[in-house]
Structure 1
Amino acid sequence: MTAVGIGLACTLAFLALYLVCRWSDPRMLRNGVFLTAAILFAGATAVIALPESVVSSYILTLGAALLALIGGIALGVALIVNGLQMLHREGRSLGNLLSLIAGVVVLALPALIVVLFSWAEGFHRGDPLDPAVMALLALLILVASYFGLSFVAFALYAVVYSRMRHRLAPQAIVVLGCGLIGGQVSPLLRSRLDRALALYEAERAAGRRPLLVPSGGKGDDETRAEGAAMAEYLLSQGADPADVAAETASRTTEENLRFSRVVHEEAGRDGQMIVVTSNYHVLRAAVIARRLGLPAQVIGARTANYYVPSAFLREYVAIVVEHRWLNLLVCTPFVAFCAFVAITRSQP
């Protein structure tokens, strides 16, 4: 089989896996991995299939390298600018620093790889290869590639999932809380509540009466529970008091979902749920809902553009931490391979 045939077969295989798994349950992270793999194999196959008369492999490689360099620099600068914007608008916190940190890493990592490669090659001194430095260089490239690709898969599928239409008649509409400002709903939280209200009104127009469950406990820096402030806002916007039941004890997304399910069941409206959160938070909330075995799909509310890059990075870091043992397992062969290379090359 030719290289084009192999590439096409891999593309179709990963596309089939994506479609089957998405049909089975759209809330799985692996769907993003399959979709990303299908796109990458399709792109590689298209490049391989180009005839030499159209563009030479040398020009194609040079163009790809130049495009990657320009794209990397542009991405790094954009992330740093966004990080500074986040600090100015949202204040100093680790979460708000993520864009700035990521931008510095994107710009510094290629430079560090070049320095290590030059050192290992003895570019200036004519020295033999340094096995330890070469092993470190290989490990750096492998780990950076893994986390880079996994972020692309996460971000790509997060966008795809957030744009899905979930055709179900929910018995409950759960709104996930976030921080209050002066005891009142923030613009970010209001966006979630307005999305929930729009869905609630559409369901009422269709003759159904879903339960609105604003969910959120009292943070250490808040004067009251988020769920109580959210319920007040929903009622002020015309929601029927009989259709609003606040959940006021949760402090994490998982608790939001678990405790809201209890409120839902106690209200006697057991059935499917729609969870409303911000668009950047949709996929992780859906993954948690699936893990808890809840009959729930998640939809997103619009977020200010400047907030999105930092928020996506924060969600990705949370996903990595939640699946830390899996990520450690994946990276272990990288470490073993690089250690093997260092040991074998250092022997006379």
Structure 2
Amino acid sequence: MIFLIFIVIALFIIEPRWYNNIYFLAIILLVELLYYTEKIFFNQDFSEQVVNITGYVFVFAFIPLVMATMSVLTYFNSKVLLEKEGRKKSNLFIGLIGVAVNIVLVYYIYSMHPNNGNKYSEAGFFYVFGLFVYFTTMYSATAIYLVLYNWRPIFYKPEYIIILGSGLIGDQVPPLLASRIEKGVQQYKKYKGQPLIITSGGQGSDEKVAESYAMKCYIHEHYPEIPDQAVVMEDQSTTTFENMLFSRKIILERFGAKARGIFVSNNYHILRASYYAKRAKLRANGVGSKTAFYYVPNAFTREFIGLLEMFKWRHIALIILFTIFSILVFRGM
């Protein structure tokens, strides 16, 4: 365990933008879970009666209780989002996650029913429950890693600051994007106005101007002390990866391939953005701006699913291996 923790810390320091770091963290969480589960079930210091009661509470009550609590929280979060952010399909997303959790909960209770002796049903339950454990562990590990990444200090002096776009309302900068701009300006002032600010974002179909242009206008309006030449626009990108890729062209022209910098996005987004920066061969780490608390669960869950899609072949390979293992175990029963 100590060795695994040392590996995670070392890799986090060397290269925090390596997705396998999250796998190592997930392994640590699973080992800890198994360790404490073993203590509950097999600790000989307790009487057999206490062990049985504890085991019963843990397996038959604790897990469904946690799942039910999660589902209630997801419904509450969707309600808050609908009230504050409007009736958008994206704001219903985390509520649908709550429905899925409830389905697993009902299946869990059904599979544990004493009259249910069907071995196919039991095998199906343990297979589904194994997948549930895998994804919830990855979700937990990703959330912990995101917090660590947000806390990670920048030890080098950046030559550029990329501010990632996030959509406009017509030609106006909404609060979510404004928080990114203000964080970028804060970093610019922190390094005494020496880094180049790159506002990155093209024009969407429902936007009157390019995001990068609106961002630059916002900076000049709210921070007139920042000179015009300190801000350049990247106005062609439509995705986070393109933000990084097209900004790299500006960086290569200005500073060369060895330049180091930072990018700014909302705190829930900087982890996935860091992987895109790595893919674009940018030597840049993220700095996160604050996000309204009620928005974070929904936004982070979507980010997590985006990460699953981004590294889908790794997850598919592991699920295939788990499926083969489950089939072999079932045939041996």
TM over 0.5: yes
- Could you tell me how far 1:199 is from its partner in structure 2? 0.8
Identity %: 29
Question: Which one of 58, 62, 65 corresponds to residue 52 of structure 2?
Answer: 58
Contact 2:26 2:138 in 1 (8 A): no
How far apart in 2 are the matches of 1:269 and 1:29? Answer: 27
Residue 136 (structure 1) aligns with: 124
State whether structure 2 residue 181 is matched by structure 1 residue 193.
yes
CA offset digits 1:224-280 (Å, max 9, x no partner):
110000011112213211100011110110000111121223334761111000000
Residue 299 (structure 1) aligns with: 287
How far apart in 2 are the matches of 1:54 and 1:340? Answer: 36
Question: Which one of 79, 97, 111 corresponds to residue 102 of structure 1?
Answer: 97
State whether structure 2 residue 228 is matched by structure 1 residue 241.
yes
How far apart in 1 are the matches of 2:210 and 2:255? Answer: 24
Contact 2:71 2:98 in 1 (8 A): yes
Task: From the superposition, tell whether residues 71 and 115 of structure 1 become closer, same or farther in structure 2 (CA, over 3 Å).
Answer: closer
- Could you tell me how far 1:147 is from its partner in structure 2? 1.1
Give, as a single letter, the amino acid of the residue that structure 1 aligns with 2:194.
R
Within 5 A, what are the aligned runs for 1:23-34?
23-34=13-24
Contact 1:214 1:231 in 2 (8 A): yes
User: Matched residue of 1:104: which SS?
Assistant: helix
Within 5 A, what are the aligned runs for 1:198-213?
198-204=186-192, 209-213=194-198
How far apart in 2 are the matches of 1:234 and 1:330? Answer: 46
Question: Which one of 80, 86, 111 corresponds to residue 85 of structure 1?
Answer: 80
- Could you tell me how far 1:102 is from its partner in structure 2? 1.2
How far apart in 1 are the matches of 2:47 and 2:243? Answer: 56
Contact 2:71 2:99 in 1 (8 A): yes
308-317 or 22-31: which moved more? 22-31
- Could you tell me how far 1:288 is from its partner in structure 2? 1.6
Give, as a single letter, the amino acid of the residue that structure 2 aligns with 1:263.
I
How far apart in 2 are the matches of 1:210 and 1:54? Answer: 65
Contact 1:117 1:137 in 2 (8 A): no
State whether structure 2 residue 270 is matched by structure 1 residue 263.
no
Give, as a single letter, the amino acid of the residue that structure 2 aligns with 1:52.
D
Aligned length: 325
How far apart in 2 are the matches of 1:85 and 1:147? Answer: 25
Give, as a single letter, the amino acid of the residue that structure 2 aligns with 1:98.
F
Task: From the superposition, tell whether residues 92 and 333 of structure 1 become closer, same or farther in structure 2 (CA, over 3 Å).
Answer: farther
How far apart in 2 are the matches of 1:45 and 1:329? Answer: 27
Task: From the superposition, tell whether residues 286 and 78 of structure 1 become closer, same or farther in structure 2 (CA, over 3 Å).
Answer: same
Give, as a single letter, the amino acid of the residue that structure 1 aligns with 2:109.
V
Q: Give TM-score scaled by structure 2 length.
A: 0.89
79-88 or 40-49: which moved more? 40-49
How far apart in 1 are the matches of 2:236 and 2:219? Answer: 18
Q: RMSD of aligned C-alpha atoms? A: 2.5
Residue 6 (structure 1) aligns with: none
User: Matched residue of 1:213: which SS?
Assistant: strand
How far apart in 2 are the matches of 1:145 and 1:92? Answer: 32
How far apart in 1 are the matches of 2:194 and 2:168? Answer: 28
- Could you tell me how far 1:302 is from its partner in structure 2? 0.2
Residue 227 (structure 1) aligns with: 212
State whether structure 2 residue 299 is matched by structure 1 residue 322.
no
How far apart in 2 are the matches of 1:38 and 1:227? Answer: 41
CA offset digits 1:119-158 (Å, max 9, x no partner):
xx753xxxx6243x33322221121111111111111101
User: Matched residue of 1:185: which SS?
Assistant: coil
- Could you tell me how far 1:167 is from its partner in structure 2? 1.4
Residue 200 (structure 2) aligns with: 215
CA offset digits 1:262-307 (Å, max 9, x no partner):
1223334761111000000011111221222210010100001111
User: Matched residue of 2:157: which SS?
Assistant: coil
Which segments of 5 or more consecutive residues in structure 2 lack a partner in the other structure? none
Contact 1:215 1:250 in 2 (8 A): yes
User: Matched residue of 1:273: which SS?
Assistant: strand
71-80 or 154-163: which moved more? 71-80
CA offset digits 1:161-199 (Å, max 9, x no partner):
111111111110000000111311110000010011111
How far apart in 1 are the matches of 2:62 and 2:35? Answer: 19
